[in-house]
Structure 1
Amino acid sequence: MFQISFAIIIGVLAVFGIATNCLALVTIWKSEKLRSVFHLLIASLCFSDFISATISPLFAYRRYMGAKEWKLGVATCKLIWGLDFWTSYVTSMHITFFALIRLFSICRPQTFVRFTAGHAKTFIFIAWIVAGLCGCLPLVYWTGVTQNKTTAVLDNENWCRNKPTEASEWPSCTLTLPCLQHFRLYIIAAYSTFYYMPTVTMIVTTYSISWKIKKQRIARRKLVGYRTFPNKPEIKRRRKEYEITAQLMFIVGSFIVGYVPRAVYHHFTMKINDDLNTDWLFGMAAYTCMRLCESLNPIFYYLCSRKMRLETLRIFSEASYREAIGKTRNISLHVVKPRGNTQTVES
């Protein structure tokens, strides 16, 4: 029952995540107004989440139908592990950088003007390279397809797993046994670098942005005067500040809910644990949280960005209009023109 439920949930989230991330990518790509530093970062995040949503059904297959015997080949097994860690680290780096430059734009707006789209593209390129080297390559090397055995023992640490039940078999596509100790050390270093420290940075940065906006609002109130405050420009500015704060809070909250449980699960599963049913449920719940947050991220982008909503409506309205014009022209071309002269037959 649990396997079928999780499989359905992962499938629905995969379809929804692919659709929403594609929508955001198409909007940013076609709109000339969405070329700012923040929109480029959002586009890169959407592409990362799109890849994750695409491979998520394979992970569900790995923990359910492919647990006993992985039939998709060693290359596919290595690929999904590598892409999963690659996109996770890309997301972590992007959101951390997004929060930091948002704080910088509020504290030093005159200096932030010098930060161009070219700088953002450079960061995006470096982030994908670093995440690939630190996330993709190690997992491609350490993972593989093995026969599902009843017991797996690591001599030095006495790490073992008992005979699994049908619902929680240790998947066939997994870490190879000699690499488990390396992976245990790896998650301590890598997760501290790409999950824990970025999470603390995001929380502190989000709080600092809220505190800075509140401080600036009080200063403007003293400058303009309490009787005429807030005026129309101030109301417009407050709406913009609300969008900035809400968008960042949603993105950071989504990252914490989606990625911290997964990191905790990997620490949990690397310890001595005989209850594989709990291990299976914990792992699938953590993975579902991550997929859910990645699917909802584009919704957060739209909810907190009036410009993205308007540009999406404009792009699709223009596309519908062009389609209607094209259909009208096709109909007019197929209309039979009446002949000018008709001939009569004499009796």
Structure 2
Amino acid sequence: MSDIHSTVSIQDPNSTTTVPANAVGQSPVTHEQQVAMTVAIAFLGLWCAIGNIVTILAITTRRYMRTKTNVFILSLAISDLLSGLIASPLWLYRRTWGFNPWELGQFACKLYWVIDETTSYCTAMHIASFAIWRFILVRWPHRMGTTKIRTITIWVCTIWVISIIFGGFVYSLFYESVEKPQDGGVYSHWPMCSIKFVDDGIAKFKMYYTFSSTMFMLFPMAILFVMSMLIVKELFFNKTFKSELRKIKEKKAVAQLAMIAASFMIGYIPMTSYMMWTIRVSNKDKSLDYWMGVAAYFCLRFSECMNPVAYNVSSNKMRKASKEVLALVWTCCGKRAPVSQTPSRVSHSTPNEAGLYVGSTIITNGTKSYGNGPK
């Protein structure tokens, strides 16, 4: 690999120009811009981690939160957390200091794409499944009682298996860490950890990406749109009598779905559009390609941060559970009040006043006790 301060010759139709190697092979951003991106990604990563960890703890530690609907939310929070904790740092390195050269090895390169694509497909299918579930509850509310939580769990596990196979394993076969030739191809401005360009790698990736993005991204978006329209129809055009309590619950459920769907669109429409553009257009402007990819990824990370906000804004129970979790964490991490060394005394206790002890004085500082003992 050439030194970053060496020069190379690039032939264009009009002239031969000698330029620094880092103009063609290195990240097209300055050190200050790299630091700014690091701060921004670190902030979003911290926000994503805290929000989704609180969501996971709120659902798993509070019995009243273990509902069928929250199985979807729990799984979605796990997906967002994996993406924020693993994919985001690797993406940052890939787009900044690891643009060229990538020094973390092939395993880290493939791990980034496995986590990133798995969680992307998982999120898309979760949103579509959540929309279907919300429509079922609005259209046939009696199904809530007959559907077992085990059925929902199997549903969610199936989503993960499909995502790992088609989004993780298969995608890992298309990516590697190798220096890209600067010949004006679609890959010329990509980082080292990108799609393989040998053995028709780009053409094969285009074919698979067209199939997979249609099946696991565009199709779920279409399902989300159709389910949303059907829900609106049920809420506003169905003349069947409904109690006021049921109407309130349905409106809250739809509000939650709308916020999660909006967050999903904010994150995944820009990223899908960028991927379709960058793998098909040759002779792109390097700076434009770079910053479009960065902007799309920031939209993706922002959407993952907004999901926990949507859960809490649209659900009173989620807010209550989240507050309880935060209070518990604060209690566990905060300083405990010092225990007084002066024993307090209770004379002539009775069972109604001081438990099971009766009779003479009791020292209640936890060290010794005197009296007639338990009765």
Shorter-normalised TM range:
0.7 to 0.9
Instruction: Give the 3-state SS of the residue equivalent to 1:177 in structure 2.
Output: coil
Within-5 A mapping of 1:17-36: 17-36=48-67
Q: Is the 8 A contact 1:35 1:117 kept in 2?
A: no
Q: Does 1:259 align with 2:301?
A: no
CA contact (8 A) 2:180 2:187 kept: no
Give the paired residue count. 310
Q: Distance in 1 between matches of 2:77 and 2:94?
A: 24
Q: Which residue of 2 aligns with 1:39?
A: 70
> What pairs with 1:157-168 in structure 2 (closer than 5 Å)?
159-160=185-186
Amino acid at match of 1:331: V
Q: Which has the larger radius of gyration?
A: 2
Q: CA deviation at 1:21?
A: 0.4
Distance in 1 between residues matched to 2:152 and 2:48, nearest whole Å: 24
- With over 3 angstroms needed to count, the CA separation of the structure-2 counterparts of 1:160 and 1:111, relative to structure 1, is closer
Matched with 1:107 is 139
C-alpha displacement of 1:2: 4.8
The one-letter amino acid of 1:301's match is: Y
Does residue 134 (structure 1) correspond to residue 166 (structure 2)? The answer is yes
Deviation of 1:126 (Å): 1.1
Query: Are the aligned partners of 1:203 and 1:252 in contact in 2 as well (CA < 8 Å)?
Result: no
Q: Secondary structure at the residue paired with 2:194?
A: strand
The 5 A counterparts of 1:150-161 are: 150-151=182-183, 159-160=185-186
Unpaired stretches in structure 1, ≥5 consecutive residues = 153-158, 163-168, 222-232, 338-347
TM-score by length of 1: 0.82
Which ranges of structure 2 fall in alignment gaps of 5 or more residues?
Answer: 1-31, 344-362, 364-375
Q: Determine what percentage of the aligned residue pairs are the same residue.
A: 26
The residue that corresponds to 1:240 in the other structure is: 249
Offset from partner CA, 1:75-131 (integer Å, 9 cap, x none): 011001111000111111111111001101111112332111101110111111111
Indicate if the aligned counterparts of 1:68 and 1:148 stay in contact, CA closer than 8 A: no
CA RMSD of aligned residues (A): 2.5
Aligned amino acid, residue 198 of structure 1: P
> Structure 1 residues 69, 244: CA separation in 2 closer, same or farther (over 3 Å shift)?
same
User: Which SS does the other structure have where 1:171 is aligned?
Assistant: coil
The CA deviation at 1:261 is 1.4
Once the two structures are superposed, the pairs formed by residues 1-347 of structure 1 within 5 Å of their partners are: 2-54=33-85, 55-151=87-183, 159-160=185-186, 169-178=189-198, 179-216=201-238, 218-220=239-241, 234=244, 236-274=245-283, 275-317=285-327, 327-328=336-337, 331-332=339-340
How far has the Cα of 1:319 moved from its partner?
5.8
8 Å Cα contact 1:6-1:284 kept in structure 2: no
Distance 1:63 1:306, change over 3 A: same
Decide whether the 8 Å contact of 2:259 with 2:310 is kept in 1.
yes
C-alpha distance in 2, partners of 1:286/1:65?
A: 19
Q: Report deviation, 1:272.
A: 2.9
Query: Secondary structure of 1:144's partner?
Result: strand
Give the TM-score of the pair, scaled to structure 2.
0.76
